[in-house]
Every structure is written in C-alpha cells, then in structure tokens.
C-alpha cells in the first residue's frame, strides 16, 4: 500500500466512494506538508506573501505620548474641579515639531494633532471649548485627566511580537511593518502550481471549433483562481487523450511544480487515459465525493508534487477548487493563520431543492430585500452552466444532512469577494 493510501485509511469514516466533504478536506490536509524555502523581499513586494519571521517592534509606536486633537496641552492638576481655569500660553507644538521647554504650574502649550505632549502636561483640551484672552486661555470645568491624548506604545509595544510566521500579509500589515521602519521581510517562497486541461473534445482559443468540440474554459477559470491565490502558475495547455502526451505533461508538471491541477477525465468509468496515467505515475486516490456539483475527484502525489485531478464540468472545477484545492494550496504555501472562508447565515428568499446525503454548493445571489439581506439561487444549477458562477456572488452551502429548504429558512452562504 502506498503512503497516501495508508494515511487516509487511518481516518475515521473514510469511504472513497461516498466521501463527505469534511473528510476529503481532512484527508488532503493529512497528506500534505508545507513547502520550505524562504526569501527576503522589500516590504511592498510582500503583499499577499506568507510571512516567515516574527515582526517584533524595536520601539514603541507611537514613540511618545502625543495629542489626539488640536487644542491645548495642560496639567490636569491645574484645572479646577468647578468653574473656569485661566492658563498662560507659553508656546506651541506641532506634529514633528515638539515643544522643547517644560510646562509649569498655570501654563499651557498650544498643540496640534500628533504633537508630542510637552514635558509636564498630561491632558489636552480641545480648542473648540477654550476661550482665548490675549496670551491666556480660559478652560471650562469638567475636563478629564489624560483626555484627547494617545499613549506611547498604544499601537505597537516594543518587544511584543505583532505579526507571526504563517500569516499572509494584508495592506494593514504592510503599513504596520512600515511604521516600524522595516524595509525588508522574510517570506516563504511562492508556491508553484502547474495546470492543464484534458479531453479530446477541447479546442484552444484561436482554433476553429469542430463539430462536438468545446472551447477549453477550465484553464481560464483556473488561471483566474490560481492568480488570485498568489501562487506562481505554469500553464501546460490542453493535453490530448494520448498516453505519451499525458505522460509528458505529468512528468513536466511534477518536475517543475509543487502542485498539479488538472481538469477532466476523472469520472468513474471514464474511458480516457487520464486516470490510468495518474495511477501509473503516482500515488493517486480516486474519490466520489458526496457533494454537488463535483462528485469525482482524484487526489494524490506524482513525484514530489501534490495532485488534484478535478472533474471536467466547468462549475464542478470551480467548486472543487474553492472547497478543496484552495485550502490545500494555502496549507502547502505555509499559511497557518485562519484562512477558512466564513459562513454567514441569511434567509432563503425562495424554497431550495435539496436531498440529504450530500453537501450542495448552489450558486447564489445575496441581495437586499428592503432592510434585510436574503439569498436566492441564480436559477439553472447544472454543473455545465458556468454562467451560474458568473452571475453568483456567493455559494449557498447546504449541509450534508439537510433536506429541502423552505422560504425564509436560514441557509449558510460563502461570499465570493471580501475587502481584499
């Protein structure tokens, strides 16, 4: 028995012919180890990359207590609990231009937002409530000690790690790293993913369509999905159903990539050579997953590369990619932060057909109905109807055990796009 088969056979309730979605995910995880390999990149180039170091502030951010508002820096102890207090204005401090002297009893300093709090002061009174009388100001009662100031280190504390290895760097992280004056960081090397389409019926763009042929669209959706994951991609084109060509494609993919994604030719009872070649060249399992769309799928390894043999139907490719391959590739890429896609609950606008015993990923449109968000399907749900993915803005995830859904019942949705 090969290693992959050994690992998955140890999983509770593993059944390759009726594999539950969560089991398939678990099996994939159990067989994959993240790539090693690190490089140093400039902070800006690190966007989306997987951090491979801790970011530990060498100083506090902000470095000094400073004013959060435009106004006057005062000593809280000078202020009367009741009635007005008159203070002498002895200077000014701007952001980047501190006041050099010390502030004594009965004195204050004009401050702008971001100005370092002058020595001796602890409180800022906003300019709107102050009455100016020549070189003095009059402060009303009711000010609170420390108000309108920002403490040194309230954003980042010296010595306390803020970013950890395994995190994909987001725009805020780049800013945070920059706020520490760090110009270069260590990140994992980019994952390399090779992909190709299989099937004799496929024509490439540029060639005329012969009778019975379809243009290869899977390579375009895969290109889009892989590009967004931030991996390096290796497009090996359409591979005819010919043993020599398939073998060459798998060999080239395995030699040059960390993972291989193919589409087509993995159905049970499939007559073409794709499955045979996968089985011959690597350790590969052929699954029937209890899901819709996307039932057949191959998973395993060829050489050192992880293999994902996705079904051929255009919607099934996208669903299996998002539900299995995305998770697997992020794991391989070294991510250890939480990248599970959130599931939100919203009411179904209309009844949904569903039979228990499989997880369904219906293509949905999340829309606002008056004040409330609801979800409806895009209509036709055939796994060849790619338009359904294009029109959708979410998956309606109907759980394994669930049956028919009535209008108004809450369902889980997984959004396609977020604030990234």
Binding to Mg ion (CB under 5 A): which residues in 250-279? 264-265
Among 57, 309, 314, 334, binds ligand AMP (CB under 6 A): 314
By beta-carbon proximity to ligand AMP, the closer residue of 303 and 384 is 384
**Does the protein bind ligand AMP through residue 121 (CB under 6 A)?**
no
Nearer to Mg ion, 165 or 264 (CB): 264
Q: Map tokens 């959706």 to a residue.
A: 221
Q: Which is nearer to ligand AMP, 300 or 312 (CB)?
A: 312
Binding segment toward ligand AMP, per CB under 6 A, in 24-32, 150-158, 229-237, 309-317: 309-317
Given a contact cutoff of 8 angstroms between Cβ atoms, the answer to whether 346 and 413 are in contact is yes
Contact 166, 339 (CB under 8 A): no
Structure tokens at 242: 């010919």
**Closer to ligand AMP at the Cβ: 151 or 207?**
207
Nearer to ligand AMP, 99 or 196 (CB): 196
Indicate the pairing of strand 259-263 with strand 305-310.
parallel
- Residue 114 CB: number of other CB atoms within 10 A? 17
CB of 242 to ligand AMP, least distance (A): 15
Q: Which is nearer to Mg ion, 264 or 364 (CB)?
A: 264
Which residue stretches of 321-409 are H helix?
Answer: 326-332, 387-391
Q: Are 168 and 339 in contact (CB under 8 A)?
A: yes
Judged by beta carbon distances under 5 to 8 A according to partner kind, the member of ligand AMP, Mg ion, none in contact with residue 311 is: ligand AMP
Residue nearest to ligand AMP (CB): 312
Residue among 57, 71, 165, 265 that touches ligand AMP (CB under 6 A): 265
Minimum CB distance to Mg ion, residue 272 (Å): 6
Bridge-partner residues for 306, per DSSP?
A: 259, 301
Residues 249-276 as b/e (b if ≥16 CB within 10 A, e otherwise) read: bbeebbeebbbbbbbbbbbeebebbbbe
Q: How far is CA 170 from CA 44, 50, 141, 163, 226, in A?
A: 10, 10, 45, 11, 18
Judged by CB under 5 A, the chain residues 183 through 202 that form the site for Mg ion are 199
Q: How far is the CB of 366 from ligand AMP (least distance, A)?
A: 27
Picked from Mg ion, ligand AMP, none, the partner binding residue 67 (CB below 5 to 8 A depending on kind) is: none
Q: What is the nearest approach in angstroms of ligand AMP to the Cβ of residue 196? A: 9
**Which residues 164-203 are close enough to bind ligand AMP by CB under 6 A?**
197, 199, 201-202
Smallest distance from the beta carbon of 264 to Mg ion, in angstroms? 5
Q: Cβ(216)–Cβ(264) under 8 Å?
A: no
Tell me how far, at minimum, the Cβ of 257 lies from ligand AMP, in Å: 19
Helices in 287-420 by DSSP H: which ranges? 314-320, 326-332, 387-391
Strands 410-415, 291-292: pairing is: unpaired
Task: List C-alpha distances in Å: 181 to 44, 47, 184.
Answer: 13, 16, 9
Spatial distance between the Cα atoms of 418 and 308, rounded to a whole number of angstroms? 26
**Residues facing residue 92 across a β-bridge:** 110
Q: Tokens 């991510």 belong to which residue?
A: 335
Task: Restricting to residues 212-231, name those near ligand AMP by CB under 6 A.
Answer: 214, 216-218
Q: Choosing among ligand AMP, Mg ion, none, which partner's interface includes residue 214 (Cβ < 5 to 8 Å by kind)? A: ligand AMP
- Residues forming the site for Mg ion (CB under 5 A): 199, 264-265
- Residues forming the site for ligand AMP (CB under 6 A): 197, 199, 201-202, 214, 216-218, 263-265, 267, 270, 311-314
């Amino acid at each position: 028995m090969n290693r992959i088969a050994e690992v998955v056979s140890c999983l509770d309730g593993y059944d390759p012919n009726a594999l539950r979605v969560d089991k398939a995910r678990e099996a994939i995880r159990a067989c994959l180890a993240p790539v090693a390999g690190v490089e140093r990149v400039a902070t800006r180039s690190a966007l989306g990359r997987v951090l491979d170091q801790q970011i530990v502030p060498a100083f506090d951010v902000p470095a000094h207590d400073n004013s959060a508002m435009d106004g006057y820096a005062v000593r809280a102890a000078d202020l009367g609990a009741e009635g007005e207090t008159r203070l002498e204005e002895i200077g000014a401090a701007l952001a980047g231009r501190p006041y050099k002297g010390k502030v004594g009893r009965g004195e204050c300093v004009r401050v702008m937002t971001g100005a370092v709090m002058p020595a001796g002061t602890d409180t800022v009174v906003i300019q709107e409530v102050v009455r100016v009388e020549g070189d003095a100001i009059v402060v009303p009662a009711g000010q609170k000690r420390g108000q309108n100031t920002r403490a040194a280190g309230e954003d980042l504390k010296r010595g306390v790690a803020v970013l950890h290895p395994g995190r994909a760097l987001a725009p805020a992280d780049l800013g945070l790293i920059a706020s520490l004056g760090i110009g270069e960081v260590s990140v994992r090397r980019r994952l390399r993913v090779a992909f190709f389409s299989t099937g004799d019926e496929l024509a490439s763009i540029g060639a005329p369509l012969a009778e019975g042929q379809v243009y290869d669209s899977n390579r375009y959706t895969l290109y889009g999905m892989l590009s967004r994951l931030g991996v390096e991609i290796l497009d090996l084109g359409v591979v005819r159903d010919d043993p020599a060509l398939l073998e060459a494609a798998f060999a080239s993919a395995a030699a040059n990539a960390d993972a291989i994604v193919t589409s087509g030719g993995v159905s049970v009872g499939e007559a073409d050579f794709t499955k045979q070649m996968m089985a011959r060249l690597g350790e590969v399992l052929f699954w029937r997953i209890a899901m819709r769309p996307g039932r057949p799928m191959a998973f395993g390894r060829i050489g050192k590369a992880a293999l994902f043999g996705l079904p051929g139907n255009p919607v099934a490719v996208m669903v299996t990619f998002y539900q299995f391959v995305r998770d697997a590739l992020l794991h391989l890429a070294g991510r250890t932060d939480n990248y599970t896609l959130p599931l939100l609950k919203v009411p179904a606008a209309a009844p949904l057909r569903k039979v228990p015993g499989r997880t369904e990923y219906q293509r949905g449109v999340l829309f606002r109905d008056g004040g409330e968000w609801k979800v409806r399907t895009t209509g036709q749900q055939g796994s060849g109807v790619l338009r359904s993915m294009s029109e959708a803005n979410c998956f309606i995830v109907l759980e394994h055990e669930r049956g028919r859904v009535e209008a108004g019942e809450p369902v889980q949705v997984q959004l396609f796009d977020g604030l990234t």
